[in-house]
Structure 1
Amino acid sequence: MKIRSKRYAAGAVLALVASLGLAGCGSDDSSTAGDSGGGGGGGDATTVTFLPKALGNPYFDTSDAGGKKAVDEFGGTYAEVGPDTIGPDTQVSFIDTAAQQGVNALVVSGNDPQALCDSLNAARDAGTKVVTFDSDVDPTCRDLFINQATAEGIAKVEVDMIAEQIGDSGEVAILSAAANATNQNAWIKIMEQELADNHPDIKLVDTVYGDDDDQTSFDKTAALLSDHPNLKGIISPTTVGIAAAARYLSTSDAKGKVALTGLGTPNQMRDYVEDGTVTEFALWNPGDLGYLAAYAAKALVDGDITGAEGDKFTAGELGDFEVGADATVLLGEPYRFNKDNIADFDF
């Protein structure tokens, strides 16, 4: 996996400022569903619109900043749109608007594997290339999926970390995002099997959903500790969830007693690693993920690839990639962050 330190911090800040400012004003780089800035028309520049699960999420601030960097490199027109909250169909209106605006490519992190399909296929019929990233939809509803890492790799590294941190024995729980999230559910299913097959002394006692909302995830963490007084660890495969759980644990009696791991960004988790709340967590570089997704979208629009297995394209400074089975492109393997290396990264 290619993790690049101190590269997307400025872009992430700009993306956050842009996303927070969407309600109040227009922008050259971002627009809401009702804006005219989705990118249709306007010369030969490739128009690429990013649609995260929801605006204001630091993970997507960083991934979409990576997408904007790529679009700027190849001289395209970038936009970011999205709902304020996560729900199965909250992205539908944004997909419909992008199609009406005639954008060349739509890059989507799906909130639901099926609920978006009608709108995505209508957009494709209208000529828009559809690339999913981070969280896939049904493969029949998109042209290409940019996978951050294999589901098996993500699930295994999380189980390995919690097993190491609790001595491979005791009760654990999972704090996930939305109950319908394609990627979360795939990881959880594999984690359940991995625990059953290889960690017989670890018991998964609960799986709860924080809907990628900070306060909900914070409250779910408190409830887990109340409902399971013998809990030894929490796995949170969501950047919002793990940060909220760490915030709760850091000021509770459970600090240092209940292990927490999962998927997070270094900037979110740095303080909690330094104060001992969290020992280790994992992630890929979300900036690289958005960057790769944008270049893949460009390759589709230009006709360099079709999404067929074996297609090859170059993604700027990330180098060459090949399309695998089910029209999937793999970024790389998860990377573990801990007190020995977290200072080296800024995203």
Structure 2
Amino acid sequence: MAIRLFAPGRRWSVAVAGAAVIGMALAGCGGATKSSTDSGGSGGAAAQGTANPNGQVKKGLKIAFLPKQTNNTYFTTLDSGGKKAVEAGGGVFKEVGTSSATDTAGQVSYVNTLTQQGMNAIVLSAQDPNALCTSLKQAMSAKVSVVTYDSDTNPDCRQAFINQASSESIGRSEVQLLGKELNYTGDIAVLSAAQTATNQNTWIGFMQQELKDPKYAKMKLVKVVYGNDDAQMSFQQTQGLLQSDPNLKGIIAPTTVGIKAAAQYLDGSQYKGKVQLTGLGDPNDMRQYVKDGTVTAFELWDEVKLGELAGYTAAALASGIITGAKGETFTAGDLGKYTVGDKGEVILGDPTVFNAQNIDQYNF
């Protein structure tokens, strides 16, 4: 699950930065769309047709959003932005999905059903980078445009990936925030979402790269645990981390569910003020913990705008304005013009750091 990073009134620009593949199929970014003019794999999946940058969004497009988890407030907010974008273009919005963030079979079933229903586009946050590929390729063969958002699948299984921010900037900045708070000394741990979450794994990969910098010589990542974006499990994992390692000084939770659960545990424990916590969270969820000193700073992006960008991208693909090839441009409503980057990636913007000085400026 992902975060939100924005400042009021700020215009977003797209960084055409290639996402690195870390660990498994990239813990959360990158995609490759091959167009008829691009044999180098710098797009997303096999492009459908030729792009018409001067074309108009077709009316009546049926666009379905398939979040990683339907009862997750993060995705509820994201998809509200998607609905806004789809309906602004005269399309029909639909949201379906499972209530579990680890029900990959359920996601596959929904993709198959949406394809059979004749959707013009499917926008999904992948629970697993590999398991959905067969069904997504079948969807694209049936002329259904496929966009991933928040958490990617394999690049050849979709046409575009809407990334909330550069995966590298997210992963490295989490370590940078915690390093400053710990004076670059002490054991740290990561409380992630699902073990198969592509975005989480990518960010963790960049965290590990950042920790190789000599200034972190006295900081050590001792453990990565998974709360599966479940509040109770994340709470228990936080408790287990602190009980198993009395020397633990900091926790990074790059998931909105995880950081809130970890903050709740720390807030009522002997570790409050002694163990630092950062990660990706909603300002409304984290406000009380920032104000009472449990959390010093954390990050995120504008979830509504991320959903909007995904909706506008899906409409542009389904209308033939873009194919997902690198260098193509399209207009995403009031968000402005965006450029497709390496491997079909479109980036919303940079993360925003929330702290006691600015958190009351945000309401989401």
Interval of TM-score (by shorter of Structure 1 and Structure 2): 0.7 to 0.9
Which residue identity is paired with 2:116? Q
1:78 paired residue number: 93
Structure 1 gap segments, 5+ residues each = 6-42
Deviations 1:179-200 (A, max 9, x none): 0111111111110121122411
Count of residues paired in the alignment = 310
Runs of 4+ in 1 over 3 A off after TM superposition: 1-5
Deviation at 1:3, TM superposition (A): 3.8
Kept in 1, the 8 Å contact 2:67–2:75? The answer is yes
2:6·2:351 contact (CA, 8 Å) conserved in 1?
Answer: no
Residue 227 of structure 1: which of 202, 227, 244 is its match? 244
Q: Percent identity?
A: 53
2:142 maps to a residue whose letter is A
| Alignment partner, residue 45 of structure 1 | 60
Check if 1:309 corresponds to 2:309.
Answer: no
After superposition, give the CA deviation of every residue in 1:227-252 in whole Å (9 maximum; x if it has no partner): 01111100001111000000111111
Runs of 5+ in structure 2 lacking a partner?
A: 10-57
Residue number among 355, 358, 362 corresponding to 1:338 in the alignment: 355
Structure 1 window deviating more from structure 2 (82-91 vs 163-172): it is 82-91
Instruction: State the partner residue of 2:26.
Output: none
The one-letter code of the counterpart of 1:210 is: G
Q: Does residue 180 of structure 2 align to residue 180 of structure 1?
A: no
Aligned: 1:69 with 2:84:
yes
Answering whether residue 302 of structure 2 is matched by residue 285 of structure 1, we say yes
Instruction: Tell whether 2:158 aligns with 1:121.
Output: no
RMSD: 1.3
Counterpart check, 1:261 vs 2:278: yes
| Counterpart residue type for residue 110 of structure 1 | A
Matched, 1:252 2:269: yes
Deviations 1:28-80 (A, max 9, x none): xxxxxxxxxxxxxxx95111111111111111111111111111211211111
SS for the counterpart of 2:309 is helix
Larger proportion of helix: 1
- The answer as to whether partners of 1:4 and 1:285 remain within 8 angstroms in 2 is no
Deviation at 1:116, TM superposition (A): 0.4
Match of 1:157, SS? Answer: helix
TM-superposed CA distance for 1:2, in Å, is 4.3
Q: Which amino acid aligns with 2:193?
A: A
Q: Which residue of 1 aligns with 2:15?
A: none
1:89, 1:112 within 8 Å by CA — same for their partners in 2?
Answer: no
2:192 maps to amino acid? S
Q: 1:206 aligns with which of 223, 248, 251?
A: 223
- 2:257 corresponds to: 240
Instruction: State the alpha-carbon separation in 2 of the partners of residues 255 and 185 from structure 1.
Output: 28
Q: What whole-Å deviation, never above 9, does each CA across 1:194-232 have from its counterpart, x for those lacking one? A: 112241110111110001100000000000000011111
- Residue 106 in 1 paired to residue 130 in 2? no
More contact order relative to length (CA 8 Å, sep ≥ 6): 2
For 1:153, which of 145, 165, 169 is the aligned residue?
169
Q: 1:64 to 1:116 in 2, by over 3 A?
A: same
TM-score by length of 2: 0.83
Equivalent position to 1:168, from 172, 184, 190: 184
Amino acid at match of 1:187: W
The 1-side partners of 2:127 and 2:358 are apart by 32
Please state whether the residue corresponding to 1:89 is helix, strand or coil. helix
Question: SS of the counterpart of 1:196?
Answer: coil
**Alpha-carbon deviation of 1:90?**
3.0
In the superposition, the TM-score normalised over structure 1's length comes to 0.87
- Give the distance between the partners of 2:8 and 2:325, measured in 1 at CA: 29
* Residue of structure 1 in register with 2:72 after alignment: 57
